[in-house]
Structure 1
Amino acid sequence: MTPDSTGRIRTDIAHNARVWNYWLGGKDNYPVDREVGDQVVAMYPSIGEVARADRAFLGRAVTYLAGEAGVRQFLDVGTGLPTVDNTHEVAQRIAPDARVVYVDNDPIVLTHARALLTGSPEGVTEYIDADAHRPDRIVEAVRPILDLDRPVAVMMLGILNFVLDTDEARSIVRTLMAAVPSGSHLVLTHPTLELGGEGNAEAMEFWNKNATPPITARSRAEFASFLDGLEVLEPGIVSCARWRPPAADAAEGADAAEVAQFGAVARKP
Protein backbone atom coordinates (compact mmCIF):
# COMPACT_ATOMS: atom_id res chain seq x y z
CA MET A 1 0.00 0.00 0.00
CA THR A 2 1.37 3.40 -0.92
CA PRO A 3 1.22 5.97 1.91
CA ASP A 4 0.51 9.60 1.02
CA SER A 5 3.14 12.32 1.33
CA THR A 6 2.67 12.44 5.11
CA GLY A 7 3.27 8.72 5.48
CA ARG A 8 -0.35 7.98 6.40
CA ILE A 9 -2.10 4.91 5.02
CA ARG A 10 -4.41 5.96 2.21
CA THR A 11 -8.06 5.10 2.68
CA ASP A 12 -9.27 6.92 -0.45
CA ILE A 13 -8.22 4.16 -2.84
CA ALA A 14 -8.93 0.45 -2.65
CA HIS A 15 -6.02 -1.87 -1.90
CA ASN A 16 -5.71 -5.53 -2.70
CA ALA A 17 -4.88 -6.77 0.82
CA ARG A 18 -7.99 -5.11 2.24
CA VAL A 19 -10.32 -6.05 -0.63
CA TRP A 20 -9.15 -9.68 -0.41
CA ASN A 21 -9.81 -9.51 3.33
CA TYR A 22 -13.33 -8.26 2.55
CA TRP A 23 -13.98 -11.12 0.11
CA LEU A 24 -12.86 -13.58 2.79
CA GLY A 25 -15.33 -12.11 5.26
CA GLY A 26 -12.79 -10.13 7.28
CA LYS A 27 -13.24 -6.74 8.93
CA ASP A 28 -9.87 -5.14 8.15
CA ASN A 29 -11.08 -2.99 5.26
CA TYR A 30 -12.54 0.44 4.51
CA PRO A 31 -15.66 1.63 2.62
CA VAL A 32 -13.64 2.21 -0.54
CA ASP A 33 -12.41 -1.40 -0.42
CA ARG A 34 -15.93 -2.75 -0.01
CA GLU A 35 -17.22 -0.53 -2.81
CA VAL A 36 -14.58 -1.65 -5.28
CA GLY A 37 -14.87 -5.25 -4.04
CA ASP A 38 -18.62 -5.21 -4.70
CA GLN A 39 -18.07 -3.74 -8.17
CA VAL A 40 -15.63 -6.53 -9.01
CA VAL A 41 -18.09 -9.14 -7.71
CA ALA A 42 -20.80 -7.63 -9.91
CA MET A 43 -18.52 -8.02 -12.93
CA TYR A 44 -17.02 -11.37 -11.93
CA PRO A 45 -19.32 -13.09 -9.41
CA SER A 46 -16.98 -16.00 -8.68
CA ILE A 47 -14.14 -13.86 -7.27
CA GLY A 48 -15.21 -14.69 -3.72
CA GLU A 49 -14.97 -18.39 -4.57
CA VAL A 50 -11.47 -17.77 -5.92
CA ALA A 51 -10.42 -16.08 -2.68
CA ARG A 52 -11.80 -18.91 -0.54
CA ALA A 53 -10.32 -21.61 -2.79
CA ASP A 54 -6.90 -19.95 -2.64
CA ARG A 55 -7.02 -19.90 1.16
CA ALA A 56 -8.14 -23.55 1.31
CA PHE A 57 -5.31 -24.50 -1.08
CA LEU A 58 -2.82 -22.87 1.28
CA GLY A 59 -4.09 -25.05 4.11
CA ARG A 60 -3.83 -28.27 2.11
CA ALA A 61 -0.38 -27.44 0.73
CA VAL A 62 1.07 -26.50 4.13
CA THR A 63 -0.51 -29.59 5.69
CA TYR A 64 1.24 -31.77 3.10
CA LEU A 65 4.57 -29.95 3.44
CA ALA A 66 4.70 -29.92 7.24
CA GLY A 67 3.37 -33.47 7.44
CA GLU A 68 4.26 -35.92 4.70
CA ALA A 69 7.14 -33.85 3.24
CA GLY A 70 8.63 -33.05 6.66
CA VAL A 71 9.36 -29.39 5.89
CA ARG A 72 10.06 -27.29 8.98
CA GLN A 73 10.77 -23.89 7.43
CA PHE A 74 8.34 -21.67 5.51
CA LEU A 75 8.90 -18.38 3.71
CA ASP A 76 5.53 -16.80 2.91
CA VAL A 77 6.00 -13.94 0.42
CA GLY A 78 3.10 -11.55 -0.02
CA THR A 79 1.42 -12.41 3.25
CA GLY A 80 -1.62 -10.18 3.04
CA LEU A 81 -3.83 -9.50 6.03
CA PRO A 82 -4.11 -12.33 8.56
CA THR A 83 -7.32 -14.35 8.38
CA VAL A 84 -7.97 -17.92 9.54
CA ASP A 85 -5.52 -20.80 9.15
CA ASN A 86 -2.51 -18.69 8.29
CA THR A 87 0.65 -20.52 7.24
CA HIS A 88 2.21 -20.64 10.73
CA GLU A 89 -1.02 -21.86 12.33
CA VAL A 90 -1.37 -24.77 9.92
CA ALA A 91 2.34 -25.67 10.01
CA GLN A 92 2.75 -25.42 13.78
CA ARG A 93 -0.36 -27.51 14.48
CA ILE A 94 1.47 -30.33 12.74
CA ALA A 95 5.04 -29.42 13.69
CA PRO A 96 5.19 -27.06 16.69
CA ASP A 97 8.88 -26.38 15.99
CA ALA A 98 8.20 -25.05 12.46
CA ARG A 99 9.82 -21.72 11.61
CA VAL A 100 7.71 -19.33 9.52
CA VAL A 101 8.74 -15.99 8.07
CA TYR A 102 6.13 -13.73 6.51
CA VAL A 103 7.14 -11.09 3.95
CA ASP A 104 5.10 -8.07 2.86
CA ASN A 105 5.73 -4.38 2.32
CA ASP A 106 2.28 -3.04 3.17
CA PRO A 107 2.16 -0.92 6.36
CA ILE A 108 -1.34 -2.07 7.34
CA VAL A 109 -0.30 -5.71 6.88
CA LEU A 110 2.81 -5.06 8.96
CA THR A 111 0.73 -3.63 11.81
CA HIS A 112 -1.72 -6.51 11.83
CA ALA A 113 0.93 -9.18 11.42
CA ARG A 114 2.96 -8.01 14.39
CA ALA A 115 -0.18 -7.87 16.53
CA LEU A 116 -1.82 -11.13 15.45
CA LEU A 117 0.73 -13.56 14.07
CA THR A 118 1.94 -15.21 17.25
CA GLY A 119 3.17 -18.76 16.91
CA SER A 120 3.90 -21.75 19.09
CA PRO A 121 6.52 -21.46 21.88
CA GLU A 122 8.59 -24.22 20.24
CA GLY A 123 8.63 -22.61 16.81
CA VAL A 124 9.40 -19.22 15.27
CA THR A 125 6.99 -16.79 13.63
CA GLU A 126 8.56 -13.63 12.23
CA TYR A 127 7.56 -10.84 9.86
CA ILE A 128 9.89 -9.05 7.43
CA ASP A 129 9.03 -5.75 5.80
CA ALA A 130 10.37 -6.28 2.28
CA ASP A 131 9.28 -5.94 -1.34
CA ALA A 132 8.80 -9.01 -3.56
CA HIS A 133 10.37 -7.01 -6.38
CA ARG A 134 13.69 -7.23 -4.46
CA PRO A 135 14.13 -10.96 -3.80
CA ASP A 136 17.82 -10.49 -3.05
CA ARG A 137 16.89 -8.35 -0.05
CA ILE A 138 14.37 -10.95 1.10
CA VAL A 139 17.07 -13.62 1.03
CA GLU A 140 19.46 -11.51 3.08
CA ALA A 141 16.74 -10.58 5.58
CA VAL A 142 15.73 -14.20 6.27
CA ARG A 143 19.27 -15.56 6.74
CA PRO A 144 19.32 -14.80 10.49
CA ILE A 145 15.93 -16.53 10.93
CA LEU A 146 15.89 -19.50 8.55
CA ASP A 147 18.65 -22.04 7.98
CA LEU A 148 19.10 -21.84 4.22
CA ASP A 149 21.11 -25.06 4.27
CA ARG A 150 17.90 -26.93 5.17
CA PRO A 151 14.75 -27.22 3.03
CA VAL A 152 12.41 -24.25 2.90
CA ALA A 153 8.88 -24.04 1.49
CA VAL A 154 8.62 -20.79 -0.47
CA MET A 155 4.97 -19.71 -0.53
CA MET A 156 3.92 -17.25 -3.25
CA LEU A 157 0.14 -17.29 -3.31
CA GLY A 158 -1.47 -14.61 -5.45
CA ILE A 159 1.63 -12.41 -5.45
CA LEU A 160 3.28 -12.81 -8.87
CA ASN A 161 0.13 -11.40 -10.50
CA PHE A 162 1.21 -8.02 -9.08
CA VAL A 163 4.53 -8.28 -10.93
CA LEU A 164 3.37 -7.15 -14.35
CA ASP A 165 6.50 -8.10 -16.30
CA THR A 166 6.66 -11.88 -16.73
CA ASP A 167 10.44 -11.95 -17.13
CA GLU A 168 10.80 -10.07 -13.85
CA ALA A 169 8.38 -12.47 -12.16
CA ARG A 170 10.47 -15.43 -13.36
CA SER A 171 13.62 -13.75 -12.09
CA ILE A 172 12.05 -13.27 -8.64
CA VAL A 173 11.19 -16.96 -8.43
CA ARG A 174 14.64 -18.02 -9.66
CA THR A 175 16.41 -15.81 -7.11
CA LEU A 176 14.39 -17.15 -4.19
CA MET A 177 14.67 -20.79 -5.24
CA ALA A 178 18.40 -20.47 -5.93
CA ALA A 179 18.87 -19.45 -2.30
CA VAL A 180 17.31 -22.63 -0.86
CA PRO A 181 18.68 -26.20 -1.03
CA SER A 182 17.52 -29.43 -2.62
CA GLY A 183 14.34 -30.68 -0.99
CA SER A 184 12.86 -27.18 -0.80
CA HIS A 185 9.44 -26.53 -2.31
CA LEU A 186 7.69 -23.75 -4.22
CA VAL A 187 3.96 -23.19 -3.68
CA LEU A 188 2.24 -20.95 -6.24
CA THR A 189 -1.21 -19.67 -7.12
CA HIS A 190 -2.00 -17.19 -9.87
CA PRO A 191 -5.17 -15.84 -11.53
CA THR A 192 -5.85 -16.72 -15.15
CA LEU A 193 -8.32 -15.93 -17.90
CA GLU A 194 -8.39 -19.68 -18.56
CA LEU A 195 -10.30 -22.24 -16.46
CA GLY A 196 -13.51 -20.32 -17.09
CA GLY A 197 -11.97 -17.01 -16.06
CA GLU A 198 -12.55 -15.17 -19.32
CA GLY A 199 -15.11 -12.96 -17.61
CA ASN A 200 -12.42 -11.67 -15.26
CA ALA A 201 -10.80 -9.53 -17.97
CA GLU A 202 -13.28 -6.67 -17.53
CA ALA A 203 -13.04 -6.90 -13.74
CA MET A 204 -9.22 -6.72 -13.87
CA GLU A 205 -9.39 -3.69 -16.14
CA PHE A 206 -11.76 -2.01 -13.69
CA TRP A 207 -9.44 -2.92 -10.81
CA ASN A 208 -6.40 -1.43 -12.50
CA LYS A 209 -8.24 1.88 -12.96
CA ASN A 210 -9.70 2.05 -9.46
CA ALA A 211 -7.40 0.20 -7.04
CA THR A 212 -3.81 -0.61 -6.24
CA PRO A 213 -1.54 -2.37 -6.99
CA PRO A 214 -2.28 -3.22 -10.64
CA ILE A 215 -2.83 -6.88 -11.50
CA THR A 216 -2.36 -9.20 -14.47
CA ALA A 217 -3.59 -12.67 -15.37
CA ARG A 218 -1.35 -15.31 -16.96
CA SER A 219 -1.75 -18.37 -19.14
CA ARG A 220 -0.97 -21.95 -18.16
CA ALA A 221 2.26 -21.78 -20.17
CA GLU A 222 3.37 -18.60 -18.40
CA PHE A 223 2.50 -20.10 -15.01
CA ALA A 224 4.40 -23.27 -15.89
CA SER A 225 7.49 -21.22 -16.71
CA PHE A 226 7.75 -20.21 -13.04
CA LEU A 227 8.25 -23.89 -12.22
CA ASP A 228 11.10 -24.53 -14.68
CA GLY A 229 13.77 -26.81 -13.20
CA LEU A 230 11.49 -28.03 -10.41
CA GLU A 231 9.62 -31.32 -9.97
CA VAL A 232 5.93 -30.49 -10.09
CA LEU A 233 4.02 -32.70 -7.66
CA GLU A 234 0.79 -34.48 -8.54
CA PRO A 235 -1.77 -33.50 -9.69
CA GLY A 236 0.35 -30.95 -11.56
CA ILE A 237 -0.88 -27.50 -12.58
CA VAL A 238 -4.60 -27.37 -11.86
CA SER A 239 -7.24 -25.02 -10.57
CA CYS A 240 -6.15 -24.43 -6.97
CA ALA A 241 -9.55 -25.77 -5.84
CA ARG A 242 -8.67 -29.13 -7.39
CA TRP A 243 -5.18 -29.54 -5.92
CA ARG A 244 -5.52 -32.60 -3.67
CA PRO A 245 -9.09 -31.85 -2.56
CA PRO A 246 -10.30 -33.09 0.83
CA ALA A 247 -10.56 -36.87 1.14
CA ALA A 248 -14.29 -36.63 1.86
CA ASP A 249 -14.89 -35.02 -1.53
CA ALA A 250 -12.80 -37.66 -3.28
CA ALA A 251 -14.65 -40.46 -1.48
CA GLU A 252 -17.95 -39.06 -2.68
CA GLY A 253 -16.63 -38.85 -6.23
CA ALA A 254 -17.32 -35.13 -6.39
CA ASP A 255 -14.90 -32.79 -8.13
CA ALA A 256 -14.31 -29.45 -6.42
CA ALA A 257 -15.77 -26.54 -8.35
CA GLU A 258 -13.07 -25.19 -10.66
CA VAL A 259 -11.96 -21.61 -10.09
CA ALA A 260 -9.85 -19.47 -12.40
CA GLN A 261 -6.75 -19.62 -10.23
CA PHE A 262 -3.85 -21.92 -11.06
CA GLY A 263 -2.24 -23.76 -8.19
CA ALA A 264 0.83 -25.97 -7.98
CA VAL A 265 3.44 -27.31 -5.56
CA ALA A 266 6.89 -28.18 -6.86
CA ARG A 267 10.04 -29.63 -5.28
CA LYS A 268 13.60 -28.52 -5.92
CA PRO A 269 15.59 -31.63 -6.92
Structure 2
Amino acid sequence: MIDTLLRDTATAEASAATAPVPPDVGETGRVLYLQREHDHRHSLLPSPFRVAQALLGDPHPYESEQHVLNQLWDVVPVPGELALAPYRCHGRVVRYLAAQAGHRRFVLADLTVPPPSLTPLHAEVHRYTGDATTVYVGSDPMALTHARALLAEPCVAVEDGNVLDPDTAMTAAAEHLDLSLPVVVQLGTAISHCNDRTATAMLTRYAHLLAPGSVVIVSAYTAPAAGPRARIARAVADIHHRHGLGPIRFRPIAALDNLLPGNMIPLPSGPGRAPGGFVSCDRWWPTGPRIDSGPVSPAAGMVATVAVTIP
Protein backbone atom coordinates (compact mmCIF):
# COMPACT_ATOMS: atom_id res chain seq x y z
CA MET A 1 0.00 0.00 0.00
CA ILE A 2 2.71 2.49 0.97
CA ASP A 3 4.72 1.60 -2.14
CA THR A 4 1.69 2.40 -4.29
CA LEU A 5 1.17 5.70 -2.55
CA LEU A 6 4.81 6.61 -2.99
CA ARG A 7 4.57 5.91 -6.71
CA ASP A 8 1.37 7.95 -6.97
CA THR A 9 3.01 10.88 -5.17
CA ALA A 10 6.53 10.71 -6.57
CA THR A 11 6.46 14.32 -7.72
CA ALA A 12 4.94 15.48 -4.46
CA GLU A 13 8.12 14.91 -2.48
CA ALA A 14 10.21 16.89 -4.94
CA SER A 15 7.88 19.88 -5.02
CA ALA A 16 7.28 19.81 -1.26
CA ALA A 17 10.82 19.03 -0.20
CA THR A 18 11.00 22.11 1.95
CA ALA A 19 7.59 21.57 3.55
CA PRO A 20 7.79 20.81 7.28
CA VAL A 21 6.17 17.40 7.66
CA PRO A 22 4.38 17.19 11.03
CA PRO A 23 6.07 14.79 13.44
CA ASP A 24 4.60 11.44 14.46
CA VAL A 25 2.24 11.13 11.50
CA GLY A 26 3.58 7.77 10.36
CA GLU A 27 4.58 6.74 6.85
CA THR A 28 1.05 6.89 5.41
CA GLY A 29 0.51 10.29 6.99
CA ARG A 30 3.81 11.55 5.61
CA VAL A 31 2.90 10.52 2.06
CA LEU A 32 -0.56 12.06 2.31
CA TYR A 33 0.91 15.26 3.71
CA LEU A 34 3.35 15.51 0.79
CA GLN A 35 0.49 14.78 -1.63
CA ARG A 36 -1.48 17.63 -0.05
CA GLU A 37 1.49 20.00 -0.42
CA HIS A 38 1.96 18.98 -4.04
CA ASP A 39 -1.71 19.45 -4.90
CA HIS A 40 -1.80 22.79 -3.09
CA ARG A 41 1.13 24.08 -5.10
CA HIS A 42 -0.25 22.85 -8.42
CA SER A 43 -3.94 23.70 -8.12
CA LEU A 44 -5.26 27.19 -7.50
CA LEU A 45 -8.85 26.06 -8.06
CA PRO A 46 -10.93 24.24 -5.45
CA SER A 47 -11.61 20.57 -5.99
CA PRO A 48 -15.12 19.08 -5.60
CA PHE A 49 -13.59 16.23 -3.59
CA ARG A 50 -11.69 18.58 -1.28
CA VAL A 51 -14.78 20.77 -0.81
CA ALA A 52 -16.75 17.65 0.18
CA GLN A 53 -13.99 16.69 2.61
CA ALA A 54 -14.10 20.16 4.12
CA LEU A 55 -17.89 20.03 4.48
CA LEU A 56 -17.55 16.69 6.28
CA GLY A 57 -15.23 18.30 8.79
CA ASP A 58 -11.65 18.29 7.47
CA PRO A 59 -9.90 20.50 10.06
CA HIS A 60 -7.25 21.66 7.59
CA PRO A 61 -8.87 22.60 4.27
CA TYR A 62 -6.81 24.23 1.56
CA GLU A 63 -7.12 27.98 1.21
CA SER A 64 -9.13 27.59 -2.01
CA GLU A 65 -11.64 25.27 -0.30
CA GLN A 66 -11.81 27.49 2.77
CA HIS A 67 -12.78 30.37 0.50
CA VAL A 68 -15.67 28.28 -0.86
CA LEU A 69 -16.73 27.30 2.67
CA ASN A 70 -16.73 30.92 3.78
CA GLN A 71 -19.05 31.82 0.92
CA LEU A 72 -21.33 28.87 1.68
CA TRP A 73 -21.55 29.97 5.32
CA ASP A 74 -22.81 33.32 4.06
CA VAL A 75 -25.81 31.74 2.33
CA VAL A 76 -26.45 28.33 3.98
CA PRO A 77 -27.19 27.77 7.68
CA VAL A 78 -24.72 25.02 8.73
CA PRO A 79 -23.50 24.20 5.20
CA GLY A 80 -21.74 21.06 6.42
CA GLU A 81 -25.17 19.42 6.56
CA LEU A 82 -25.16 19.37 2.74
CA ALA A 83 -22.52 16.63 3.07
CA LEU A 84 -23.17 15.26 6.55
CA ALA A 85 -26.91 14.60 6.07
CA PRO A 86 -26.50 12.28 3.05
CA TYR A 87 -23.42 10.58 4.57
CA ARG A 88 -25.31 9.73 7.77
CA CYS A 89 -28.29 8.61 5.70
CA HIS A 90 -26.18 6.37 3.47
CA GLY A 91 -24.74 4.80 6.60
CA ARG A 92 -28.25 3.92 7.77
CA VAL A 93 -29.19 2.54 4.34
CA VAL A 94 -26.15 0.26 3.91
CA ARG A 95 -26.42 -0.83 7.55
CA TYR A 96 -30.05 -1.83 6.98
CA LEU A 97 -29.29 -3.61 3.70
CA ALA A 98 -26.41 -5.56 5.26
CA ALA A 99 -27.96 -6.37 8.65
CA GLN A 100 -31.64 -6.74 7.77
CA ALA A 101 -31.79 -7.56 4.04
CA GLY A 102 -28.75 -9.85 3.85
CA HIS A 103 -26.79 -8.07 1.11
CA ARG A 104 -23.10 -8.97 0.83
CA ARG A 105 -21.84 -7.03 -2.23
CA PHE A 106 -21.57 -3.23 -2.17
CA VAL A 107 -20.35 -0.62 -4.64
CA LEU A 108 -19.87 2.79 -3.03
CA ALA A 109 -19.37 6.01 -4.97
CA ASP A 110 -18.49 8.13 -1.94
CA LEU A 111 -14.69 8.30 -1.63
CA THR A 112 -14.67 11.00 1.04
CA VAL A 113 -12.93 10.01 4.26
CA PRO A 114 -15.23 10.85 7.19
CA PRO A 115 -14.09 12.45 10.45
CA PRO A 116 -13.75 10.23 13.55
CA SER A 117 -17.30 11.14 14.61
CA LEU A 118 -18.69 9.26 11.58
CA THR A 119 -18.35 5.57 10.71
CA PRO A 120 -17.00 4.87 7.20
CA LEU A 121 -19.62 3.29 4.98
CA HIS A 122 -17.73 0.03 4.53
CA ALA A 123 -17.39 -0.26 8.31
CA GLU A 124 -21.17 0.05 8.64
CA VAL A 125 -21.46 -2.92 6.27
CA HIS A 126 -18.78 -5.08 7.88
CA ARG A 127 -20.02 -4.46 11.39
CA TYR A 128 -22.86 -6.87 10.62
CA THR A 129 -21.50 -8.95 7.73
CA GLY A 130 -17.90 -9.96 8.08
CA ASP A 131 -17.99 -11.78 4.75
CA ALA A 132 -19.24 -8.81 2.70
CA THR A 133 -17.15 -7.30 -0.09
CA THR A 134 -17.16 -3.54 -0.60
CA VAL A 135 -15.74 -1.72 -3.62
CA TYR A 136 -15.27 2.04 -3.61
CA VAL A 137 -15.39 3.48 -7.13
CA GLY A 138 -14.41 6.99 -8.16
CA SER A 139 -12.43 8.95 -10.72
CA ASP A 140 -10.90 11.90 -8.83
CA PRO A 141 -7.13 11.14 -8.61
CA MET A 142 -6.70 12.75 -5.20
CA ALA A 143 -9.82 11.04 -3.85
CA LEU A 144 -8.49 7.68 -5.05
CA THR A 145 -5.12 8.30 -3.38
CA HIS A 146 -6.73 9.17 -0.06
CA ALA A 147 -9.21 6.30 -0.23
CA ARG A 148 -6.52 3.74 -1.02
CA ALA A 149 -4.53 4.94 1.97
CA LEU A 150 -7.29 5.32 4.51
CA LEU A 151 -10.24 3.14 3.46
CA ALA A 152 -8.80 0.00 1.87
CA GLU A 153 -8.55 -3.07 4.10
CA PRO A 154 -9.39 -6.78 3.79
CA CYS A 155 -12.64 -7.22 1.80
CA VAL A 156 -12.50 -3.54 0.79
CA ALA A 157 -11.16 -2.40 -2.60
CA VAL A 158 -10.78 1.01 -4.23
CA GLU A 159 -11.08 1.17 -8.02
CA ASP A 160 -10.86 3.88 -10.67
CA GLY A 161 -14.23 4.29 -12.37
CA ASN A 162 -16.64 7.10 -13.18
CA VAL A 163 -20.03 6.52 -11.53
CA LEU A 164 -21.61 8.82 -14.13
CA ASP A 165 -20.67 6.11 -16.65
CA PRO A 166 -22.39 2.94 -15.39
CA ASP A 167 -20.45 0.62 -17.72
CA THR A 168 -17.10 1.95 -16.54
CA ALA A 169 -18.10 1.87 -12.87
CA MET A 170 -19.48 -1.66 -12.95
CA THR A 171 -16.55 -2.96 -15.00
CA ALA A 172 -14.28 -1.69 -12.23
CA ALA A 173 -16.48 -3.29 -9.56
CA ALA A 174 -16.51 -6.59 -11.47
CA GLU A 175 -12.82 -7.00 -10.60
CA HIS A 176 -14.01 -7.96 -7.12
CA LEU A 177 -17.74 -8.77 -7.35
CA ASP A 178 -19.85 -11.34 -9.17
CA LEU A 179 -22.35 -9.09 -10.93
CA SER A 180 -24.62 -12.00 -11.74
CA LEU A 181 -25.68 -11.78 -8.07
CA PRO A 182 -27.52 -8.91 -6.35
CA VAL A 183 -25.34 -5.88 -5.64
CA VAL A 184 -25.97 -2.68 -3.69
CA VAL A 185 -24.82 0.42 -5.59
CA GLN A 186 -24.58 3.75 -3.77
CA LEU A 187 -24.40 6.68 -6.21
CA GLY A 188 -24.07 9.56 -3.80
CA THR A 189 -25.51 12.77 -5.27
CA ALA A 190 -24.34 12.00 -8.80
CA ILE A 191 -27.67 12.81 -10.47
CA SER A 192 -27.51 16.36 -9.11
CA HIS A 193 -24.57 17.02 -11.39
CA CYS A 194 -26.26 16.18 -14.69
CA ASN A 195 -29.41 17.18 -16.56
CA ASP A 196 -32.70 15.28 -16.41
CA ARG A 197 -32.18 13.27 -19.57
CA THR A 198 -28.67 12.19 -18.58
CA ALA A 199 -29.76 11.33 -15.02
CA THR A 200 -32.60 9.07 -16.20
CA ALA A 201 -30.40 7.44 -18.85
CA MET A 202 -27.73 6.75 -16.23
CA LEU A 203 -30.20 5.17 -13.79
CA THR A 204 -31.77 3.15 -16.60
CA ARG A 205 -28.37 1.78 -17.56
CA TYR A 206 -27.58 0.78 -13.97
CA ALA A 207 -30.93 -1.04 -13.81
CA HIS A 208 -30.00 -2.90 -17.00
CA LEU A 209 -26.54 -3.89 -15.77
CA LEU A 210 -27.53 -5.07 -12.29
CA ALA A 211 -28.94 -8.47 -11.36
CA PRO A 212 -32.53 -8.78 -10.06
CA GLY A 213 -32.66 -8.08 -6.35
CA SER A 214 -29.97 -5.42 -6.57
CA VAL A 215 -30.49 -2.08 -4.81
CA VAL A 216 -29.45 1.39 -5.96
CA ILE A 217 -29.15 4.18 -3.39
CA VAL A 218 -29.65 7.61 -4.93
CA SER A 219 -29.38 10.97 -3.22
CA ALA A 220 -29.98 14.38 -4.75
CA TYR A 221 -30.12 18.03 -3.81
CA THR A 222 -33.65 19.33 -3.56
CA ALA A 223 -35.44 22.65 -3.18
CA PRO A 224 -38.87 24.01 -4.09
CA ALA A 225 -39.28 26.43 -6.96
CA ALA A 226 -39.78 29.41 -4.64
CA GLY A 227 -39.17 30.43 -1.04
CA PRO A 228 -36.13 30.55 1.28
CA ARG A 229 -34.71 27.18 0.23
CA ALA A 230 -35.04 28.10 -3.43
CA ARG A 231 -32.97 31.22 -2.78
CA ILE A 232 -30.35 29.16 -0.91
CA ALA A 233 -30.23 26.68 -3.81
CA ARG A 234 -29.64 29.43 -6.36
CA ALA A 235 -26.86 30.90 -4.22
CA VAL A 236 -25.14 27.52 -3.80
CA ALA A 237 -25.38 26.81 -7.54
CA ASP A 238 -23.86 30.23 -8.23
CA ILE A 239 -20.94 29.55 -5.85
CA HIS A 240 -20.29 26.22 -7.60
CA HIS A 241 -20.34 27.91 -10.99
CA ARG A 242 -18.03 30.78 -10.01
CA HIS A 243 -15.43 28.43 -8.52
CA GLY A 244 -15.43 25.95 -11.39
CA LEU A 245 -16.92 23.14 -9.32
CA GLY A 246 -19.26 22.03 -12.07
CA PRO A 247 -23.05 22.23 -12.29
CA ILE A 248 -25.23 21.45 -9.30
CA ARG A 249 -28.99 21.13 -9.64
CA PHE A 250 -31.60 21.45 -6.90
CA ARG A 251 -34.87 19.86 -8.03
CA PRO A 252 -38.26 19.65 -6.31
CA ILE A 253 -39.05 16.22 -4.85
CA ALA A 254 -41.66 15.49 -7.53
CA ALA A 255 -39.11 16.23 -10.25
CA LEU A 256 -36.65 13.84 -8.61
CA ASP A 257 -39.26 11.08 -8.56
CA ASN A 258 -39.80 11.61 -12.29
CA LEU A 259 -36.13 10.79 -12.95
CA LEU A 260 -36.54 7.20 -11.74
CA PRO A 261 -37.08 4.68 -14.55
CA GLY A 262 -40.07 2.38 -14.32
CA ASN A 263 -37.99 -0.72 -13.54
CA MET A 264 -36.68 0.77 -10.28
CA ILE A 265 -39.05 0.06 -7.38
CA PRO A 266 -38.61 2.32 -4.30
CA LEU A 267 -38.24 0.67 -0.90
CA PRO A 268 -40.18 1.97 2.13
CA SER A 269 -38.26 4.79 3.82
CA GLY A 270 -39.51 3.97 7.32
CA PRO A 271 -41.69 1.64 9.40
CA GLY A 272 -45.37 1.81 8.54
CA ARG A 273 -44.73 3.66 5.31
CA ALA A 274 -45.79 2.45 1.90
CA PRO A 275 -43.04 2.29 -0.73
CA GLY A 276 -42.57 5.78 -2.12
CA GLY A 277 -40.02 7.99 -3.81
CA PHE A 278 -37.45 10.46 -2.58
CA VAL A 279 -37.68 11.72 1.00
CA SER A 280 -35.49 14.09 3.00
CA CYS A 281 -32.32 12.35 4.20
CA ASP A 282 -33.37 12.96 7.79
CA ARG A 283 -36.61 11.03 7.14
CA TRP A 284 -34.96 7.84 5.78
CA TRP A 285 -34.99 5.45 8.75
CA PRO A 286 -35.99 2.00 7.48
CA THR A 287 -35.97 0.38 10.93
CA GLY A 288 -37.32 3.39 12.83
CA PRO A 289 -37.92 5.52 14.62
CA ARG A 290 -40.51 6.79 12.21
CA ILE A 291 -39.87 10.50 11.69
CA ASP A 292 -42.56 12.41 9.83
CA SER A 293 -42.09 15.85 11.36
CA GLY A 294 -39.81 17.77 13.65
CA PRO A 295 -36.85 20.08 13.23
CA VAL A 296 -34.70 19.58 10.18
CA SER A 297 -31.87 22.01 9.50
CA PRO A 298 -32.38 23.98 6.27
CA ALA A 299 -29.31 22.40 4.70
CA ALA A 300 -30.17 18.83 5.76
CA GLY A 301 -33.64 19.31 4.33
CA MET A 302 -32.10 20.13 0.95
CA VAL A 303 -30.83 16.60 0.32
CA ALA A 304 -33.23 13.75 -0.48
CA THR A 305 -32.64 10.02 -0.77
CA VAL A 306 -34.33 6.97 -2.22
CA ALA A 307 -33.33 3.31 -2.25
CA VAL A 308 -34.74 1.36 -5.20
CA THR A 309 -34.66 -2.31 -6.00
CA ILE A 310 -34.32 -3.96 -9.41
CA PRO A 311 -37.13 -6.54 -9.91
Q: Secondary structure of 1:157's match?
A: coil
Alignment of structure 1 residues 28-177 onto 2, 5 Å: 29-77=61-109, 79-83=110-114, 84-119=118-153, 121=154, 124-163=155-194, 165-177=195-207
The gaps in structure 2 that reach 5 residues or longer are: 1-10, 13-37, 270-275
RMSD: 2.4
Structure that is richer in strand per residue: 1
AA of the residue aligned to 2:122: H
Q: 1:191 aligns with which of 221, 224, 229?
A: 221
| Alignment TM-score, normalising by the size of structure 2 | 0.75
Encode CA deviations 1:79-123: one digit per residue, 9 max, x unaligned: 23211322211101110111111111111101101101133x4xx
CA contact (8 A) 1:87 1:100 kept: no
Aligned length: 257
C-alpha separation in 1, matches of 2:173 and 2:253: 31
CA contact (8 A) 1:156 1:186 kept: yes
Residue 133 of structure 1, CA deviation: 3.3
C-alpha separation in 2, matches of 1:116 and 1:70: 26
C-alpha separation in 2, matches of 1:226 and 1:181: 21
Q: Which residue of 1 aligns with 2:294?
A: 255
| Alignment TM-score, normalising by the size of structure 1 | 0.86
Q: Secondary structure of 1:66's match?
A: helix
C-alpha separation in 2, matches of 1:225 and 1:145: 33
Structure that is richer in helix per residue: 2
CA contact (8 A) 1:243 1:263 kept: yes
C-alpha separation in 2, matches of 1:238 and 1:231: 14
Q: Secondary structure of 1:47's match?
A: coil
Residue 254 of structure 1, CA deviation: 6.6
- Percent same amino acid among aligned pairs? 27
The gaps in structure 1 that reach 5 residues or longer are: 1-5
Residue 219 of structure 1, CA deviation: 2.6
